[in-house]
Chain A
Amino acid sequence: MSTQQGGRFFFNVDWITILIYIALCAVGFVNIYASIYNPDNSTLFNFSSNYGKQLIFIITALIVGFSILLMDAKFFSVFSPIVYGITMLLLVAVLLVGRKVAGNQAWIPLGSFRLQPSELAKFGTALLLARYVSSFNPKFRDFKSIMFAALIVLFPLMLIMLQPDTGSALVFLSFMFPLYREGLSGYFLLIFLGMIVLFIADFLLPITLIIPVILVIGGIFVYQNRRKQKVMFSIILTTIIAIAYLFLVRVAYEKVLEPHQRTRIEIMLGQKTDPKGAGYNVIQSKIAIGSGQITGRGFLEGTQTKYGYVPEQSTDFIFSTIGEEWGFVGCTVVVALYLFLLLRLINLAERQRSTFSRVYGYCVASIIFFHFFINIGMTIGIIPVIGIPLPFISYGGSSLWSFTVLLFIFLKLDSNRMGFI
């Protein structure tokens, strides 16, 4: 009976995704071990050390994950507003009773563990967003539905900004992808991309060059649409807004961003070098990764890793250990694992019959994608330093559990794709 029941529970589960998940956790464990490895006392396996803790985290995460698979799929859809509500309350609570760690009030102490509500908020938001789309079937053509979706996403984002934890807050921008998939105009993505491009261009090029370029591009579009007055008008408006943005972003950059954030951006854009100060992390991380060359220095052989040259190496900069000890080959394998996972998640999402499951699937893929891109991009110097973990690999219980929960809820929904929610 029990085998039959177990078989029923795990029926239709996508084992390939679980295998990739386990592989990434294993990569994490091995590299955390290497990051913390100390040649002087390497003999005993020590559960009080961080790699020992990570092993416990992985085991408990698997237990949590498989427990989720045993739950009823309907639960998530039904209780999503409540989950969202609880996580929002926790976000408020952390501002009141949280503990400050490294300038961020992001942690609630719970016995020997610390709870990070911003991690929980990600899947709370994902659930509610999926519930909203599946219940009301908005096409995001009207202002009202866009506003509503934006509220769901921006509310936790704002709360997290208050901590202030800019990195985690930025992750909420990844909800643009599921909204786009559900009908949000592609222009939103383009505008967003355009804002980033203009921001970077504003840094690197003189404004006397950017404005004529914008005007020329705008002019070409106006000429092409010269018979459609309405379109022409909106193009002219966009051009004016773009130019205004150039000046606004300068003011915003000075007033809104913290000095250390400005420095990180300037370092990433090569406008500033500060090898002893703010640039130290990135330079050391690049040195460690670059020194791995093609095949890497080998497990436990990375000198930069072993002798502590990269700060935060087991958490946010874990990828530098992979880069140094496993080289270009190892890095490519890890990137490929992530890419495979992401593409698979999208494919799984698309095969759902229920909108809820599809939207949720997109949310999971987008959140993982955002972490993956920003974290690795930061360690190799193409993204400014934003302190968010590498999913499944970085050291830390909160991060691993929340990604596990996020992923396994989707796997549960997927295994139940034949039923209706």
Chain B
Amino acid sequence: MGTLWQDVRYGLRMLGRSPGFTAVAVLTLALGIGANLALFGILNEMVLRPKPVARPQELWAVVPANAARQPVYANLCRPYYEAIRRDGRVFQGIIGYAGIMPKLRTEEGAERIEAELVSGEYFSFLGVVPALGRGFLPEEDGQAGARAVAVISHAFWCSQFGGTPDVLGKTVTLNNTLVEIVGVAPKGFTGLGYGRPSLWLPASMEPMLGELTVYQLIGRLAEPRLAPTAADMLTPIAAEVTQELSTFKDPRWSKYGVGPSFCRVRLDPIGRGVLGTSRARPKVLGFLQFAGVATVLLLLIACANVASLFLARALQRRKETATRIALGATRAALVRQVVCEGILVAAGGTAGALLVFSWVGQGLMKFASWWPGPPLRPAADLRVLLFAAAAVLAVGVGFSLLPALQATALAPAAALKDGAGAGRRRSWLRHGLIVAQVAGSLVLLCGATLCLRSMSKQLSVDLGYRSDRLAVASLDLERVGFTTDTAMPQLEEIVRRVALVPGVERVAVSPVDLMGGMKTHLYVADGVEDHNPSHENSVEFGFYPRVGPGMFGVLGIPILRGRDFSQEDVESGRQIVIVNESFARKFWPGRDPLGMHIRQWEVVGVVQDACLDRFDERADATAFRVTDKKSLLQPNLLIRAQGDARGVVASVRAELARIHPKLVVGDVRTLRDIIKNTLAVEHAALRILGALGVLALVLASVGVYGVMAYMVSSRTREIGIRLAVGATRGDLLRLVLSAGLRLGLIAAALGLPLALGGAVVLRHQIAGISPFDPVSFLAVVACVLAALTAACWLPARRAAKIDPMAALRHE
């Protein structure tokens, strides 16, 4: 222990004596460790940190799955919850909760807030004891609309009621329903999902609030190994409910539709992390996987960089090492000393990384624009600290061991005689470390370039209309005090004023979310006039979004037959639809769709197929219903610009703010940006790989510069001799540049196969180009070689300017 302490003291002193070296090494490692620590912090928040509930390890989520047991989207409504609870064989208790966005009445109007409808035993099942008041009573979730009560979150209690204890018994108005507060959740409890609900309501209030309640079902299993069996037992129960719902006989559940590929149940653990069984899970895990590979690579590059610094320093200390050997030091003791210094530097880097850990984590999350929850603020808990400690040891030993072994493998007699002087092996190692850094940065940059070219190709896909001239603003008229009766004149005024903004060509309003990507209202295509399903047992689905008048015109989607919707259609609530070409082809091949009916809706027009829901899928058979007035309380304002839509975004934003500062939800965005957002994982991967790749290349270039500068300095005498025997300045420039480029070419030869391997990993995120796209790889190699040439230039110039007389006197 005493020896260890002595090593630490000596190491600290040695590092303190070389503040420049120490600062560079610590900062380089802080960069690499910080990125990994921040990523681990996010991983910790998302999937590792146990939820603040009783026995979180026993909680399992019921997840709808397809035949291959892959999660699929399906609206799990209350009948599923009731059926599983009734069965009672599988779980030791089950709860259901559903995220909703009811309108909270405020002084100004109404505001959407996050809330959860939960089954009656929600709090007792989770073992969550309210900080104030109580949870729900069994009878409060018994009969529909039994009693309007709520448990509010700690944050809501503090923000809305100032944290006063007399909140119990007070009321809030949600969707025009008066709700009594009966409890306050404990601080830190924010439910089981990634959302931050302001309050919890009994599920029996669903009809009262008029919300669509898609359940997450959570059960308790004492033994994890029972999960597969339990899932198999749940599958027939769910299938029975699905069969019943497919008849659409019960009007309470028909609005939920049926998931077309939901035929199995799987159970996923949900007791840890905020991610739960969110639909974003695959995206999040994909993102973490990308970011994980990239940050580990960055750390390895940082380690190689610091290792070469350590090696150079070890060479300078050769004589000291030899003296220590002469004084009786064993090689193990010498290695231990160097490794101890390495661990100290790694500890310094990790401490620095921990200081900015939360900030870097939040920064990293900015890459994840698709994250649906509130901003994550990674906190340093025991797991993070253990990860940090492991990083200190792994990184500290990892980068210093090789230089330590190299530096201590010397003949003491020779070292005592001539002091420094690099051997061939050390030179090989130093060059090897540089090659590793350059190859690593090449891998990252190849990944980034592939993502960039893939995105560019995907964004140039034909949507059926021009996306570059469109901008969208989500409006909330209800929030600023309008109702169904008063909203229409206001909308007309908004459309008129925005249309007058310079550069704007046409404007329309429509409830449809362009590129929303979620077909949550898939309907069984029953009631299609004159259509008989091709097979007796097949179920055909249609997609029936609501759109506003003028939307097709603004988007530039040609109306092939019939007419567009009119304002009068909206006012009168006519039962009419416009179908697209695919719908007409699928259900009425060779016939005129105009005048045909889908259920009670009459077809008044046919439009050209266009990608409205996803840019990367062909248009489905779609029947567009005319919007109702209620849907226009939260419409999207569609703006067609005369030129590039980016040119009008700022002025449209300003005009809307002049109408009402709170009118726009989020921001005014171009459709191209919205599409980019749907490529979120690719975009995040591109930004992360790009940023880390550039960072890695900078580190590698600095390393190359260092090696070349060292080479010039240690070969000064040789350069003097070369000059004396007739070498020109150009010869010397070539000598140094060719040495640097030789390293670059070796790195390219080693890095390209690795980059091709990385492309195989990335292939699922790459579309429109081959994962082995030669343009991307060649462009990166050229870029890396150019960076290395730049890094070698200064040492090369220095070599070319050496005075031969001075060089010949150089020792």
Chains A and B form a bound pair: no
Interface of A with B (CB < 8 Å)?
A: none
Interface of B with A (CB < 8 Å)?
A: none
